[in-house]
Amino acid sequence: MIGIFDSGIGGLSVYREIKKILPGEDYVYYADNAHCPYGEKTKEYIIERARKITELLVGKGADIIVIACNTATAAAISTLRAEYSDSGSSKVRQKMLSLSGGKRDHIRFIGMEPAIKPAIGMTHSGVVGVLATAGTLNAEKYRNTRDLTHGNVKVVEHVGEGFVELVENGELSGPHAEEVVKRSLTPLLDAGADTIVLGCTHYPFLIDTIRKVAGDGICVLDPAPAVARHLSEVMDDECLRHSSGNGTSIFLSSGSDSILKKMVGNLC
Ligand code: DGL
Protein backbone atom coordinates (compact mmCIF):
# COMPACT_ATOMS: atom_id res chain seq x y z
CA MET A 1 0.00 0.00 0.00
CA ILE A 2 1.24 3.49 -0.86
CA GLY A 3 1.06 6.01 1.99
CA ILE A 4 0.84 9.69 1.07
CA PHE A 5 0.79 12.68 3.37
CA ASP A 6 0.68 16.45 3.33
CA SER A 7 -0.21 19.25 5.73
CA GLY A 8 -3.64 19.21 4.12
CA ILE A 9 -5.29 18.59 0.78
CA GLY A 10 -2.36 19.88 -1.32
CA GLY A 11 -0.90 16.39 -1.60
CA LEU A 12 -3.98 15.34 -3.54
CA SER A 13 -2.35 17.11 -6.51
CA VAL A 14 0.37 14.44 -6.25
CA TYR A 15 -2.02 11.58 -5.45
CA ARG A 16 -4.01 12.25 -8.66
CA GLU A 17 -0.82 11.98 -10.79
CA ILE A 18 0.32 8.81 -9.03
CA LYS A 19 -3.09 7.24 -9.37
CA LYS A 20 -3.01 7.89 -13.16
CA ILE A 21 0.08 5.73 -13.61
CA LEU A 22 -0.45 3.25 -10.75
CA PRO A 23 -4.23 2.75 -10.78
CA GLY A 24 -4.18 -0.76 -9.32
CA GLU A 25 -2.29 0.10 -6.13
CA ASP A 26 -3.99 0.65 -2.78
CA TYR A 27 -3.55 4.06 -1.14
CA VAL A 28 -3.84 5.65 2.26
CA TYR A 29 -3.75 9.46 2.20
CA TYR A 30 -3.30 11.53 5.35
CA ALA A 31 -4.14 15.25 5.46
CA ASP A 32 -2.63 16.81 8.58
CA ASN A 33 -5.01 19.73 8.38
CA ALA A 34 -5.29 20.19 12.14
CA HIS A 35 -1.65 21.34 11.95
CA CYS A 36 -1.80 23.16 8.59
CA PRO A 37 -0.06 25.27 7.37
CA TYR A 38 3.39 23.75 7.76
CA GLY A 39 5.00 26.62 5.84
CA GLU A 40 5.63 28.81 8.88
CA LYS A 41 6.30 26.03 11.40
CA THR A 42 9.74 25.09 12.76
CA LYS A 43 11.74 22.22 11.32
CA GLU A 44 11.50 20.37 14.66
CA TYR A 45 7.72 20.67 14.70
CA ILE A 46 7.41 19.30 11.16
CA ILE A 47 9.82 16.41 11.89
CA GLU A 48 7.72 15.42 14.90
CA ARG A 49 4.51 15.50 12.85
CA ALA A 50 6.21 13.52 10.07
CA ARG A 51 7.31 10.80 12.54
CA LYS A 52 3.79 10.45 13.94
CA ILE A 53 2.24 10.31 10.47
CA THR A 54 4.83 7.80 9.24
CA GLU A 55 3.97 5.45 12.09
CA LEU A 56 0.26 5.93 11.52
CA LEU A 57 0.61 5.14 7.79
CA VAL A 58 2.76 2.06 8.46
CA GLY A 59 0.10 0.93 10.93
CA LYS A 60 -2.50 1.26 8.15
CA GLY A 61 -0.40 -0.95 5.86
CA ALA A 62 1.82 1.47 3.91
CA ASP A 63 5.13 0.03 2.75
CA ILE A 64 6.30 3.08 0.81
CA ILE A 65 5.53 6.68 1.77
CA VAL A 66 5.29 9.70 -0.51
CA ILE A 67 5.84 12.96 1.34
CA ALA A 68 3.51 14.94 -0.92
CA CYS A 69 4.59 18.20 0.65
CA ASN A 70 7.64 20.24 -0.33
CA THR A 71 7.88 21.83 3.12
CA ALA A 72 7.82 18.50 4.97
CA THR A 73 10.26 16.98 2.48
CA ALA A 74 12.72 19.82 2.98
CA ALA A 75 12.38 19.68 6.78
CA ALA A 76 12.07 15.98 7.50
CA ILE A 77 12.99 13.54 4.72
CA SER A 78 16.63 13.09 5.76
CA THR A 79 15.60 12.47 9.39
CA LEU A 80 12.84 10.05 8.36
CA ARG A 81 15.23 8.14 6.12
CA ALA A 82 17.87 7.98 8.86
CA GLU A 83 15.36 6.73 11.41
CA TYR A 84 12.96 4.54 9.42
CA SER A 85 14.87 3.35 6.37
CA ASP A 86 17.63 0.72 6.24
CA SER A 87 19.96 2.33 8.74
CA GLY A 88 17.37 2.80 11.51
CA SER A 89 18.02 1.66 15.09
CA SER A 90 16.93 -1.81 16.24
CA LYS A 91 14.36 -0.18 18.53
CA VAL A 92 12.72 1.60 15.60
CA ARG A 93 12.93 -1.60 13.50
CA GLN A 94 11.08 -3.47 16.22
CA LYS A 95 8.45 -0.74 16.37
CA MET A 96 7.98 -0.85 12.58
CA LEU A 97 7.66 -4.63 12.67
CA SER A 98 5.03 -4.41 15.35
CA LEU A 99 3.13 -1.58 13.56
CA SER A 100 3.16 -3.45 10.24
CA GLY A 101 2.05 -6.76 11.77
CA GLY A 102 5.49 -8.30 11.22
CA LYS A 103 5.66 -7.34 7.51
CA ARG A 104 8.32 -4.61 7.43
CA ASP A 105 11.13 -3.32 9.61
CA HIS A 106 11.95 -0.31 7.42
CA ILE A 107 10.17 1.97 4.97
CA ARG A 108 11.07 3.78 1.74
CA PHE A 109 10.34 7.53 1.37
CA ILE A 110 9.79 9.52 -1.82
CA GLY A 111 9.80 13.30 -1.48
CA MET A 112 8.92 16.43 -3.42
CA GLU A 113 11.39 18.90 -4.84
CA PRO A 114 10.60 22.17 -6.64
CA ALA A 115 11.09 21.59 -10.40
CA ILE A 116 13.98 24.04 -10.71
CA LYS A 117 16.10 21.81 -12.95
CA PRO A 118 13.49 21.44 -15.75
CA ALA A 119 12.57 25.12 -15.41
CA ILE A 120 16.19 26.12 -15.96
CA GLY A 121 16.21 24.12 -19.19
CA MET A 122 12.98 25.74 -20.38
CA THR A 123 13.35 29.46 -19.70
CA HIS A 124 13.89 31.79 -22.67
CA SER A 125 14.14 34.96 -20.62
CA GLY A 126 16.87 33.52 -18.39
CA VAL A 127 14.74 34.11 -15.29
CA VAL A 128 12.90 31.38 -13.39
CA GLY A 129 10.37 32.19 -10.68
CA VAL A 130 9.74 29.86 -7.74
CA LEU A 131 6.59 30.02 -5.64
CA ALA A 132 6.81 28.00 -2.42
CA THR A 133 6.34 28.24 1.33
CA ALA A 134 8.83 30.07 3.55
CA GLY A 135 9.81 26.70 5.03
CA THR A 136 10.81 25.35 1.60
CA LEU A 137 12.55 28.50 0.38
CA ASN A 138 14.63 28.80 3.56
CA ALA A 139 15.56 25.12 3.69
CA GLU A 140 19.12 24.02 3.02
CA LYS A 141 17.85 21.26 0.73
CA TYR A 142 16.14 23.70 -1.63
CA ARG A 143 18.98 26.23 -1.51
CA ASN A 144 21.58 23.58 -2.34
CA THR A 145 19.58 22.37 -5.36
CA ARG A 146 19.13 25.93 -6.58
CA ASP A 147 22.77 26.90 -6.07
CA LEU A 148 24.08 23.77 -7.77
CA THR A 149 21.82 24.01 -10.83
CA HIS A 150 21.02 27.60 -11.76
CA GLY A 151 24.18 28.36 -13.77
CA ASN A 152 23.55 31.58 -15.73
CA VAL A 153 19.83 31.51 -15.03
CA LYS A 154 18.50 33.92 -12.43
CA VAL A 155 16.16 32.33 -9.89
CA VAL A 156 13.70 34.64 -8.15
CA GLU A 157 11.52 33.42 -5.31
CA HIS A 158 8.34 34.41 -3.53
CA VAL A 159 6.17 32.82 -0.87
CA GLY A 160 2.70 32.15 -2.25
CA GLU A 161 1.16 34.24 0.50
CA GLY A 162 -2.36 33.07 1.31
CA PHE A 163 -2.33 30.35 -1.40
CA VAL A 164 -2.55 27.42 1.05
CA GLU A 165 -5.46 29.06 2.86
CA LEU A 166 -7.29 29.61 -0.45
CA VAL A 167 -6.95 25.92 -1.33
CA GLU A 168 -7.85 24.66 2.14
CA ASN A 169 -10.97 26.82 1.93
CA GLY A 170 -11.81 25.43 -1.50
CA GLU A 171 -11.53 28.89 -3.07
CA LEU A 172 -9.67 28.06 -6.27
CA SER A 173 -10.86 30.84 -8.58
CA GLY A 174 -12.72 34.13 -8.64
CA PRO A 175 -11.73 37.77 -8.05
CA HIS A 176 -10.44 37.26 -4.49
CA ALA A 177 -8.30 34.25 -5.44
CA GLU A 178 -6.90 36.24 -8.40
CA GLU A 179 -6.06 39.17 -6.14
CA VAL A 180 -4.24 36.90 -3.67
CA VAL A 181 -2.32 35.15 -6.47
CA LYS A 182 -1.42 38.45 -8.12
CA ARG A 183 0.29 39.80 -4.98
CA SER A 184 2.88 36.99 -4.94
CA LEU A 185 3.16 36.36 -8.67
CA THR A 186 3.67 39.97 -9.82
CA PRO A 187 7.15 40.39 -8.24
CA LEU A 188 8.32 37.29 -10.16
CA LEU A 189 6.86 38.50 -13.46
CA ASP A 190 8.28 41.98 -12.88
CA ALA A 191 11.70 40.38 -12.42
CA GLY A 192 11.36 38.88 -15.93
CA ALA A 193 10.43 35.29 -15.07
CA ASP A 194 8.86 33.43 -18.01
CA THR A 195 8.80 30.05 -16.20
CA ILE A 196 7.11 29.66 -12.83
CA VAL A 197 7.80 26.63 -10.63
CA LEU A 198 5.03 25.59 -8.25
CA GLY A 199 7.07 24.55 -5.21
CA CYS A 200 4.17 23.68 -2.95
CA THR A 201 1.70 20.87 -3.59
CA HIS A 202 -1.28 23.08 -2.75
CA TYR A 203 -0.48 25.51 -5.58
CA PRO A 204 -1.41 23.26 -8.58
CA PHE A 205 -5.03 23.52 -7.46
CA LEU A 206 -4.71 27.24 -8.26
CA ILE A 207 -3.04 26.64 -11.64
CA ASP A 208 -5.91 28.05 -13.72
CA THR A 209 -5.95 31.20 -11.64
CA ILE A 210 -2.14 31.43 -11.74
CA ARG A 211 -2.18 31.03 -15.56
CA LYS A 212 -4.92 33.64 -15.88
CA VAL A 213 -3.00 36.15 -13.75
CA ALA A 214 0.34 35.35 -15.42
CA GLY A 215 -1.04 35.74 -18.95
CA ASP A 216 0.15 34.22 -22.23
CA GLY A 217 3.74 33.15 -22.74
CA ILE A 218 4.37 32.16 -19.12
CA CYS A 219 5.03 28.49 -18.46
CA VAL A 220 3.81 27.11 -15.11
CA LEU A 221 5.46 23.90 -13.88
CA ASP A 222 4.03 21.33 -11.47
CA PRO A 223 6.55 18.65 -10.39
CA ALA A 224 3.87 16.07 -9.46
CA PRO A 225 3.92 14.07 -12.76
CA ALA A 226 7.71 13.64 -12.49
CA VAL A 227 7.41 12.53 -8.85
CA ALA A 228 4.76 9.98 -9.84
CA ARG A 229 7.06 8.57 -12.55
CA HIS A 230 9.94 8.41 -10.08
CA LEU A 231 7.77 6.55 -7.56
CA SER A 232 6.74 4.03 -10.20
CA GLU A 233 10.40 3.41 -11.16
CA VAL A 234 11.45 2.97 -7.53
CA MET A 235 8.59 0.54 -6.92
CA ASP A 236 9.60 -1.47 -9.99
CA ASP A 237 13.29 -1.50 -9.00
CA GLU A 238 12.56 -2.54 -5.44
CA CYS A 239 9.78 -5.02 -6.25
CA LEU A 240 7.23 -2.97 -4.32
CA ARG A 241 4.48 -3.18 -6.97
CA HIS A 242 1.50 -4.97 -5.49
CA SER A 243 -0.14 -7.48 -7.75
CA SER A 244 -2.85 -7.93 -5.11
CA GLY A 245 -3.84 -4.24 -5.00
CA ASN A 246 -7.51 -3.45 -5.59
CA GLY A 247 -7.08 0.19 -6.46
CA THR A 248 -8.74 1.28 -3.22
CA SER A 249 -7.99 4.60 -1.52
CA ILE A 250 -8.54 5.60 2.09
CA PHE A 251 -8.50 9.29 3.05
CA LEU A 252 -7.79 10.33 6.63
CA SER A 253 -7.30 13.70 8.26
CA SER A 254 -6.28 15.08 11.63
CA GLY A 255 -8.96 17.78 11.46
CA SER A 256 -12.29 18.28 9.73
CA ASP A 257 -12.63 16.07 6.67
CA SER A 258 -15.24 18.13 4.80
CA ILE A 259 -12.87 19.84 2.32
CA LEU A 260 -10.89 16.61 1.90
CA LYS A 261 -14.07 14.74 0.96
CA LYS A 262 -15.13 17.53 -1.42
CA MET A 263 -11.75 17.65 -3.18
CA VAL A 264 -11.56 13.86 -3.45
CA GLY A 265 -15.06 13.91 -4.95
CA ASN A 266 -13.86 16.46 -7.54
CA LEU A 267 -10.85 14.31 -8.45
CA CYS A 268 -12.96 11.26 -9.25
N1 DGL B 1 1.58 21.52 0.62
C2 DGL B 1 2.73 21.87 1.34
C3 DGL B 1 3.96 22.03 0.49
O4 DGL B 1 4.05 21.39 -0.55
C5 DGL B 1 2.70 22.80 2.51
C6 DGL B 1 1.69 23.85 2.64
C7 DGL B 1 1.68 24.36 4.07
O8 DGL B 1 1.16 23.65 4.91
O9 DGL B 1 2.20 25.46 4.31
O10 DGL B 1 4.86 22.73 0.81
152 residue type, one letter? N
**Cβ–ligand 1 contact at 160 (below 6 Å):** no
Give 2-112+224-267's CATH code, choosing from 3.40.50.1860, 3.40.50.2300, 3.40.50.620, 3.40.50.1370: 3.40.50.1860
69 in contact with ligand 1, CB cutoff 6 A: yes
Tally the C-alpha atoms within 13 A of residue 24's C-alpha that lie toward its C-beta: 7
Active site (catalytic) residues = 69, 200
Taking alpha carbons only, the member of 90, 63, 67 closest to residue 78 is 67
Does the beta carbon of 70 lie inside 6 Å of ligand 1? yes
Q: What is the pLDDT along the chain (268 residues), one digit of tens a residue?
A: 999 999 999 999 999 999 999 999 999 999 999 999 999 899 999 999 999 999 999 999 999 999 999 999 999 999 999 999 876 788 888 888 889 888 888 899 999 988 999 999 999 999 999 999 999 999 999 999 999 989 899 999 999 999 999 999 999 999 999 999 999 999 999 999 999 999 999 999 999 999 999 999 999 999 999 999 999 999 999 888 876 668 899 999 999 999 999 999 988 7
Q: Is the pTM of this model over 0.85?
A: yes
Ligand 1 mean position, distance from CA 102 (Å): 33
Domain ranges within the chain, ordered by starting residue: 2-112+224-267, 116-221
Smallest CA separation from ligand 1 atom 8, residue: 37
Domains 2-112+224-267 and 116-221 are alike in CATH topology: yes
Q: Residue 64's beta-bridge partner residues?
A: 2, 108
116-221 CATH fold: Rossmann fold (3.40.50)
